[in-house]
Each structure stands twice: as C-alpha cells, then as structure tokens.
A and B are shown apart, each in its own frame.
Chain A
Amino acid sequence: MTVDDHTLDMVAMSRDEYERLVDMLDREPTEVELGMAGALWSEHCGYKHSRPLFHHFPTEGPYVLTKVGEENAGAIDLGGGWCAVFKMESHNHPSALEPYQGAATGVGGILRDIFAMGMRPVALLDSLRFGPLSDPNNRHLFSGVVGGIGGYGNCIGVPTVGGEVQFDASYSGNPLVNAMCVGVGRIEHLLSAQAGGPGNPLLLVGADTGRDGIHGATFASVELDEGSGDRRPAVQVGDPFTEKLLMEACVELAEQHGDWIEGLQDLGAAGLTSSAVESAARAGTGIEIDVALVPRREREMSAYDVMLSESQERMLVIPKREHLDDVIALFRRWELHADVIGQVTDDGMATIVDGDREVARIRVDVLIDAPRYPPEAERPASLDRAQAEDLDAIADVADGAAATAALLTLLGSENIGSRRWIYRQYDHQVLNQTVVRPGGDAAVVALPPDGDGDRSGARRGFAVATDGNGRLVALEPRIGAQIAVAEAARNVVATGATPAAITDCLNFGNPEKPDVAYELEQSIIGLSEACEALGTPVVSGNASLYNETPDGAVMPTPAVGMLGVIDDVERHLTPAFGSGDTAVLLGASPAQPASALAGSEYLAGLLGRLAGRPEIDLDLEVRVQQLVLDAHGRGLLTAAHDCADGGLAVTVAESCLAGDVGFEGVAELDFGPGPGARLDAALFGEVQSRFVVVVQSSTDADALLELAAEAGVPATVLGTAGSGGGGDRIRLGPVDLALDAARDAYDGALERALAR
C-alpha cells in the first residue's frame, strides 16, 4: 500500500474502503481516481449509511409523474399540463463555518437542482435549526444564515415564501440549514440529467472553475471539531447574478429548445466529478474530459483540483452534436461562456486527461458503487428513561393567572414567536405568484399568469410547507418522524390544498454510532409509514449525517417539505379569525391528560424538560385531514390553523393575532382539571391530528359537526372571535389575555432574543 493515512483522511476514505477500491480496480488508483472515488463514495454523494434504508420510502402516488431515482427528483402533476419539481438539501457544515456564504450557496445549489430539470424556480423555503439565541455565536450564525438566504434569493428574484426555525441547545455550533426549492413548468418541458448519445459533446457553462470548495463533499461527511475552521476553503462563495443568467438561459433552453439537448445537470457537491459521472451512469454511457479545456480563475490548478472543485454557478450541458453551436449561442446571448470540455463515450469509463496525459481511467459503475453500511442500530437506553418519566408528577398550572402568564411567555419565546424578523428580510412576493405569504401554516403559490395579465387560465397552484420537530424524534424516532410528515401535511391542508408528495432532508449525527443508527433507521421507517398512510410519496431528498460537535450530536431532525395541489388558489384558507367567526376544534377533545405534554414546547421551553412519549394515530390523522378538505370543499370553512407547537392556547392566540380580533371561549368548555385531565395539558399539550377551523354561521357549524361525527372525528365548538365576543381580549377557559399584550410578546420575540 503506497497511500498514507493523511491522504485517505483528505478524501474521508477508510483503509477498508481504499482496499475495496483497489480490489475493484485490480490496481492502485491514481491520485485523481482516488479523489473522484473519495468524493463519490462520501456520505454526501454516496449515501453509504442511508441508502440501505431508502427502500422503505414509497415513491409512487396519484400525483407522481416520474419517480425519484430515474432523475434528480420526481415530478408532480399539478393538472392542466403543469408540473412541479421540488427538492430540499442541507448546507449545514458550510453554514457552521461561514454562515452567510454557507447559506447563500445552499440556496444557489438547490435552485440549480430545479432549473437543471427545465423548471422555473418559483418558491424557496428554508428549514433552519440553531442553538439558543442567548449564546452570541448562535446569534451570529442565525443572523448570518438569514442574511445569506436573503442575499441570494433576493438578488436572483425567486421568492422565499416559507420555512420554519427551531432553537435547541443540541444545534449549538452545528446549525441545520436546509434549503428547499419548488419549480414549475409544462410537463413537456421537463429535462433529463442523462449524458446520452456517445459522441455528443460535454459543455461546461457558467462560472470559471477555482479552488473553492475542494473536498466540500467529504467535509460534509465528517464531524465538526476544533480544526474545522481550517476547512474554511471548503466553503464556496456565491454569485447570484451569474446564477440568474444561468437560470434564465436553462429555462429558455427547456421551454423553447428542449430538443437541442440530451441532458442537463447541475454541478453541486463534488463538482464536475459527480455531475459528469452521475449523468453518464444514468444513461449507461461513459465520459471523457480534458481538464485543460476547463476555464479557470486560478493559476496552476491540477487535474485533481479541477475535477473536485465546487465552484458555484456551473452547469453541465450535453447538447446533441448537431445543435452544439445553437446551444453555445443561446448561452452567449445570456452573456455566459460555454466550453466543450469532453464528450460522451460508449465504453462505460470515466476517462480524464490533462492535455495529452491521462490522469484517470476508471469504470463509472465503480465510482457510483459506494460501499453500503446497513445500520448497526441499538436503541439508546435514554429513550426509555425519558419516556418513563412521570409527567403527572409535574405540578399543573396553578390558576387562570398562571395559565395566562404561561401563554404570554410561550407567545414571546424563540420557538413560537413571530418569524417576521426573518421573512421581512426575504423578498417573498417577486413573480406576483405568492397568494399566501409567510407567517401562516403554509405558503400558497399560483402558477404563472399569462403574459397579458389574465389569470383565468391559471387558477391552479400549490401549497408548500416544511416541518420536522427534532424533540419529538429525539423522544421516539419512529413516531416523531411520522409526526413530521403528518404535521407538514396538516400545514398544507390548513390552506385548503391536497397533500401530494414530500421531499426530505435527513439531519442526523454520526451514523457509525449505534444510537444514531437507531434514530436514522427508525426515522426512515416512520417517515415511510406516514407517507404511505397519507398517500404522499417521497419524490426527492438528501441526507446530512455527521452533524456532531465535541459536545455531541444534534437532535435527530428529519425535515419534511410537503407540497399540496390546489385547483383554485383563490379558494385558499389562512389561520386568521374574522369578527363573529365560530371556532371549532377538530381531532381531539379539549380536555387532555398529562401525557399530552410529551415533547411539548411548554415542557421543554418553560420547564426545561424533554420527556414523555409522543403519540400519533395515523388513521385518525388521515380522517381529520380529509374532513377539513371535505368541509372546505363544501364551502363551510373560512379559516383553518394547524394546532401544534404550543398547543391549543397558542393556536387560538395566533389566529386572533392574524385576524387582529379577540376571542371569547365557550363558558362551559371543560379543560379540566378533573380526573385524568389537566389544565396545562389542555391549553399547552401537543396532541397530534388537530385543527382549529372557523365557520361563519350556526348552520355551517351544525353541518361541520355532522360531517365530523360521520368521519369519527372529535369536534368541539371553542368559542367566538371578534366583536361577537372577546372584544380586544383572548379568553379561553381560564386564560384571559389582552390582545395588545399578546401582540407585543409575539411580534417582538426574535428581536428581543437577538438584542440580548
């Protein structure tokens, strides 16, 4: 063996993996071959610990046009000849080191994933996790990440319409930055990412290649430690202006000249290596690249540097030979240069030359055949300990004044308070398609209008939300993951849309540790079970493992991005109460036992305890969601809100704030305390499968209660909003809170946390 440990460390390859490579080649790899194999066999590209579990994921459903695996992401049928593609991807480690650029290039990367498929990006979302804002470094990371997301999205002109953020100590120093993009277009404009047709040229388009981001894929596949700062060169720098040109050119290519090309593929993790090799693998071909033909922005770059650079804003185009000049001319018109750097071959080999010197010649199927490590999972004992804690031993809220104070504290907390500080830094309206803006359960986005301002042919659209509560997954991974899917679906249903499919981002610690392996395996099973139950297959996704600092792993956090279809965007719902509205709780009765507090924000945020066992009944979940869609279909509802984080009291308060009205709860409502029922559990418990919906007349209320009874869904009239009751106070059971006080606490939550 000639290779030393340092070299293997640089490519994050184990000695065993190196020997596996030597066996497959029947010789020692060259330096470039080792670099290419290291990148493609990294967790980030090769999914070696997660892929053995992917078979659990359902991939087919009524809305799925193309399955994931055949291309970079599956496509969803929006009706009327339109389709959507969407995907979520992590940029956790770069954001931990360089929050602005890390987040910005995360947005840039996910945008390229979408327009590489020929679809126009029309919505961005971000699922974020940070340590508590009481720590200055977390404030620095949070502000930087929000700035970077805005800096890229605002400049390129794609609206950031939603997302979520949660704060927990486990994310200190290892934030989670998951960026999601939705693109739409006509079904016939979907492009392939296949390097088909031997003899066709490989065209590299966009930015020049520098040394930035070399080993980015391997960096994403190791734990963060004190030395991670030295990896800063592995973080790339974004140029949204060049990306805008690339986006316009690629969308134009797809919409007008899709027949000119065989394939289009973005350059992301592992740069040219993964882009060229994966598109060849999909087509069953080979590729030959001459690195001397790759335009560079730095001197004396080696073949190794060029093949592994993660310079941003680059695309690989595989034009049909006869249309090479047409394609180059199209990119030139967008002021981009396009250079032939090689060609498609029929020998199944990845051949890399540097001028007349061959530096790598390795089988494509070897490069994409990353080792697979089925998880060696062991259920951590801590789970059973946390679940066995006696929640009844916790003192209930003493009285109405204490309950009101607890509600005010929750409304003003980092995890519940308004996200306005974040989304007002994002352009969430450009493109004139954002029908429901950030701040509610899900965004609603209309399809593009016709050029002359007529929207009559484009009433269709989609609703989209991200979700994933790490606390619940930490307590019971399989159940917590089911809840992540269910809640994301509930968010979409709350706008009146029908859930269609998900993308997911699996954020976990080091999978080589048995407890993390358990979390990963159980989460994937849980996600899959919920997707099956709700009829929402997985159309794309990404795994980010090794999210650990010397202080430990992040909470297991599968982030789910859910897309729902909506036939008429004008008929959407929001959480806002209107004056005189009657609010109805669906899915559970108001009175709840202590077990409802499991994993709740009340327990974690106010009492500092992560305990209990989260529960969900997926059959009930499906019935409740269907009930809301049926009731909305009959025109019974005027508002709907997912009842989740912070529990019923927070849900009602949020709907009051959204509508700027007070609330008067029904006097005889039973919240407890009583046998097996507690006030805190009723007000702040986080029982799943609940909505608060609104009807405008007693006739509609009766019709809704009847529908609920037929569906076997508990339903309770909660009270009346606005001038009909409550005035400018929120009154629910013993809670009595001035609307203004609630607004001050809620609106200023993040500003206050950041001003510390």
Chain B
Amino acid sequence: MRAAVIVFPGTWSDGDCVYALGRVGVDSRRVWHRETEFAADELVVLPGGFSYGDYLRCGSIARFSPVMEAVRSHAAAGGLVIGICNGFQVLCEAGLLPGVLMRNDSLQFRCQDIDLLPAQHSSPFTAGIAAGRVLRMPVSHGEGNYYADEATLDMLEDSGRVAFRYCDAEGRATAGANPNGSLRNIAGITNEAGNVLGMMPHPERACDPLLGGVDGNAIWESALGGVSAATAGA
C-alpha cells in the first residue's frame, strides 16, 4: 500500500503524516495541489494546515483546487480518503462529507490531548480497532465544532457513519470531554460507503512513544488491513 499526501500551499501536517505512515510501514508520496491523479490503491490523505490561508472559511477555497476533482473521483471509485483537521474541513466544504466545522465554542484555538472512542467498526479506518478501545491523541484547531442539522445527525447515527466521538478516559461521551462544542461529541464521520473519513484529531501526531503516544497508529493500521483485504479480494 502507498499513501498520497496532498499538499496545499498552507498545509503543514504533510511531513507529520508521511512520518506517521512510515512508522506503520507505508510509503508516501507528496502530491502538490495542482496534480490530478491517484492510483486506485492509494490511501489519499488530506492533512492539517491552513490550505489557502483560510481567511474566508476553513477549506472554502481548497475545494476549488485542481486536486479536489481527483479526490472526488478517487472516492467515487471506492478509494480510501482520510481528511484530518483542515482536511476534514476541506472534505465538508467539498461536499464529500455532510455538515460543517464551526469556530470552537470556547472561541479559542485548542491544542491538547483528547480521548476518542470509535463509534462504529464498519469502515476500513475503524474495523481493525478493538471495540471499546479508547484512543488518546491531540487536537489542534480553532474551528473543529462539528455542526449539522438534527435530521443529518440522526441519519449519520442511524447509518453508523459517526466514526469517532470525544469521550472521557472511560469512553463516556461527556460534555467535559468535548474540546470544541461538536454536536453529539462527534470527532469524525465517514461517507455512506465508509471509504472517506474526516476527523478533527491528529492520529499522525500520536505515532511515536517519543512524542507521547502511539494510539493514532491504530487508525492507519486498520486502513492498511482494509486495503490489503480489498487488494487480495481483487
């Protein structure tokens, strides 16, 4: 498996993603935002950053970028796509995922470790994570407050598309564990088919004991298993 890490001019987590993927044995290539092609078996990563400065609204300009058409096609063909932090914002702005990410309810940027509980195990990104396992990793954002209307939220829940929730150390989705005011403590969601994941927390920063933890690797490893299985099946 190989990963394609997309680089917008204001992306800054590309190196961190390449490093984290390397830790779980995945080679990556960086893809400049003007490029337009992915291999079918590539894991496409939209990393954190401020894609185009984000003075208007996070991700609102990036969705018009040439590379986003290719991301759309890749997703439609069943390829794996993960958007982290700004990447999640871009996926929402591009209409690949429902809802929006608003300013944190604290009205402040938040960089801190949080606990995260997988809310489903049906997508390639969560299938390999043991049920009930709480993952610890950082968030680092000013606009991570997930919002969608009630009908959409119900639809996401009913169809098992809520991928992760902010929780306390015991896995309870409490208000105190929610770093940004996201509705229903939602930290990450998938598309209907489950091959596109958007999440605010940074698994690529929890990849090395030296940096304070390795829980983020569980997500990459799960996705890796998913692709291997798919490739084997084909």
Give A residues with C-beta under 8 Å from B. Answer: 147, 150-151, 154-157, 239-242, 244-245, 334-335, 423-432, 434-435, 437, 446, 448-449, 451-455, 569-570
A49–chain B nearest beta-carbon distance, Å: 38
Of B5-13, B124-132, B161-169, which stretch is located at the interface?
B5-13
B residues 96-153 near A (Cβ < 8 Å) are 108-112, 138, 140, 142
The answer to whether B18 touches A451, judged by C-beta atoms less than 8 angstroms apart, is yes
The answer to whether B207 touches A432, judged by C-beta atoms less than 8 angstroms apart, is yes
Of B37-45, B46-54, B170-178, B224-232, which stretch is located at the interface?
B46-54
Output the residue of B11, B21, B210 with the most chain A CB within 10 A. Answer: B210
The answer to whether B55 touches A427, judged by C-beta atoms less than 8 angstroms apart, is no
B14–chain A nearest beta-carbon distance, Å: 10
B51–chain A nearest beta-carbon distance, Å: 9
The answer to whether B10 touches A427, judged by C-beta atoms less than 8 angstroms apart, is no
Q: In the complex, what residue of chain B is closest to A421 when comparing beta carbons? A: B108
Given contacts A244-B9, A432-B205, A453-B22, contact A427 B210 (CB under 8 A): no
The answer to whether B210 touches A430, judged by C-beta atoms less than 8 angstroms apart, is no
Contact for A426 among B22, B109, B205, CB less than 8 A: B109
The answer to whether A431 touches B111, judged by C-beta atoms less than 8 angstroms apart, is no
Task: List residues of chain B with CB within 8 A of the CB of A437.
Answer: 212
B residues 1-45 near A (Cβ < 8 Å) are 9-13, 15-16, 18-23, 27
The answer to whether B111 touches A455, judged by C-beta atoms less than 8 angstroms apart, is no
The answer to whether B22 touches A569, judged by C-beta atoms less than 8 angstroms apart, is no
The answer to whether B19 touches A430, judged by C-beta atoms less than 8 angstroms apart, is no
The answer to whether B140 touches A427, judged by C-beta atoms less than 8 angstroms apart, is yes
Task: List residues of chain B with CB within 8 A of the CB of A452.
Answer: 22, 27
The answer to whether A425 touches B111, judged by C-beta atoms less than 8 angstroms apart, is yes
A-B pairs, 4 with minimum CB distance: A453-B22, A157-B12, A241-B53, A453-B23
Task: List residues of chain A with CB within 8 A of the CB of B210.
Answer: 435, 446, 455, 569-570
Task: List residues of chain A with CB within 8 A of the CB of B21.
Answer: 453
**Interface membership of B77, Cβ < 8 A:** no
* 5 A-B contact pairs sorted by A residue (CB < 8 Å): A157-B10, A429-B111, A432-B15, A446-B210, A453-B23
Output the residue of B12, B22, B48, B53 with the most chain A CB within 10 A. Answer: B12
Q: How far is the CA of A452 from the CA of B22 in the complex (A)?
A: 5
The answer to whether A245 touches B9, judged by C-beta atoms less than 8 angstroms apart, is yes
Give B residues with C-beta under 8 Å from A. Answer: 9-13, 15-16, 18-23, 27, 48-50, 52-55, 108-112, 138, 140, 142, 202, 204-205, 207-208, 210-212
Task: List residues of chain B with CB within 8 A of the CB of A156.
Answer: 12
Task: List residues of chain B with CB within 8 A of the CB of A446.
Answer: 210
Task: List residues of chain B with CB within 8 A of the CB of A334.
Answer: 9
Q: How far is the CA of A714 from the CA of B217 in the complex (A)?
A: 47
The answer to whether A432 touches B53, judged by C-beta atoms less than 8 angstroms apart, is no
The answer to whether B110 touches A424, judged by C-beta atoms less than 8 angstroms apart, is yes
Task: List residues of chain B with CB within 8 A of the CB of A244.
Answer: 9-10, 12, 50
Q: In the complex, what residue of chain B is closest to A437 when comparing beta carbons? A: B212
Not counting A430-B140, A448-B15, a sample of 9 additional A-B residue pairs whose C-beta atoms are within 8 angstroms of each other reads A155-B10, A157-B49, A241-B54, A424-B108, A424-B111, A424-B112, A429-B202, A432-B207, A451-B18
Task: List residues of chain A with CB within 8 A of the CB of B108.
Answer: 147, 424-425
Q: How far is the CA of A610 from the CA of B49 in the complex (A)?
A: 46
Q: What total of A-B pairs shows CB separation below 8 Å?
A: 100
Q: How far is the CA of A449 from the CA of B13 in the complex (A)?
A: 14
Given contacts A241-B10, A432-B205, A434-B211, contact A155 B19 (CB under 8 A): no
Q: How far is the CA of A358 from the CA of B13 in the complex (A)?
A: 48
Q: How far is the CA of A451 from the CA of B16 in the complex (A)?
A: 9
Contact for A335 among B9, B22, B212, CB less than 8 A: B9
A101–chain B nearest beta-carbon distance, Å: 14
Output the residue of A241, A242, A427, A432 with the most chain B CB within 10 A. Answer: A432
Q: How far is the CA of A155 from the CA of B52 in the complex (A)?
A: 10
Q: How far is the CA of A335 from the CA of B22 in the complex (A)?
A: 29
Q: In the complex, what residue of chain B is closest to A150 when comparing beta carbons? A: B109
Q: How far is the CA of A245 from the CA of B9 in the complex (A)?
A: 7
Task: List residues of chain B with CB within 8 A of the CB of A570.
Answer: 210
Q: How far is the CA of A451 from the CA of B3 in the complex (A)?
A: 13
Q: In the complex, what residue of chain B is closest to A461 when comparing beta carbons? A: B210
Q: In the complex, what residue of chain B is closest to A334 when comparing beta carbons? A: B9
The answer to whether A423 touches B111, judged by C-beta atoms less than 8 angstroms apart, is yes
Given contacts A154-B109, A241-B9, A424-B112, contact A429 B208 (CB under 8 A): no
Q: How far is the CA of A57 from the CA of B179 in the complex (A)?
A: 47
Q: How far is the CA of A424 from the CA of B112 in the complex (A)?
A: 6
Output the residue of A147, A157, A437 with the most chain B CB within 10 A. Answer: A157
A145–chain B nearest beta-carbon distance, Å: 14
Contact for B19 among A154, A241, A426, A449, CB less than 8 A: A449
Task: List residues of chain A with CB within 8 A of the CB of B204.
Answer: 432
The answer to whether A435 touches B9, judged by C-beta atoms less than 8 angstroms apart, is no
A247–chain B nearest beta-carbon distance, Å: 10
Q: How far is the CA of A50 from the CA of B18 in the complex (A)?
A: 47
Q: How far is the CA of A298 from the CA of B11 in the complex (A)?
A: 30
The answer to whether A431 touches B15, judged by C-beta atoms less than 8 angstroms apart, is yes
Task: List residues of chain A with CB within 8 A of the CB of B48.
Answer: 430
Q: In the complex, what residue of chain A is closest to B18 when comparing beta carbons? A: A451
Task: List residues of chain B with CB within 8 A of the CB of A151.
Answer: 109
B215–chain A nearest beta-carbon distance, Å: 14
B196–chain A nearest beta-carbon distance, Å: 24
Task: List residues of chain A with CB within 8 A of the CB of B208.
Answer: 432, 455
Given contacts A157-B12, A430-B12, contact A435 B22 (CB under 8 A): no
The answer to whether B109 touches A453, judged by C-beta atoms less than 8 angstroms apart, is no
Q: How far is the CA of A428 from the CA of B21 in the complex (A)?
A: 21
Q: How far is the CA of A369 from the CA of B136 in the complex (A)?
A: 57
Q: How far is the CA of A249 from the CA of B10 in the complex (A)?
A: 12
Task: List residues of chain B with CB within 8 A of the CB of A451.
Answer: 18-19, 22
The answer to whether B211 touches A425, judged by C-beta atoms less than 8 angstroms apart, is no
Q: How far is the CA of A569 from the CA of B208 in the complex (A)?
A: 13
The answer to whether B110 touches A429, judged by C-beta atoms less than 8 angstroms apart, is no
Task: List residues of chain B with CB within 8 A of the CB of A242.
Answer: 53
The answer to whether A431 touches B52, judged by C-beta atoms less than 8 angstroms apart, is no
The answer to whether B53 touches A155, judged by C-beta atoms less than 8 angstroms apart, is yes
Q: How far is the CA of A156 from the CA of B109 in the complex (A)?
A: 14
Task: List residues of chain B with CB within 8 A of the CB of A432.
Answer: 15-16, 19-20, 204-205, 207-208, 211
Q: How far is the CA of A429 from the CA of B109 in the complex (A)?
A: 13
Output the residue of A430, A446, A455 with the most chain B CB within 10 A. Answer: A430
The answer to whether A425 touches B110, judged by C-beta atoms less than 8 angstroms apart, is yes
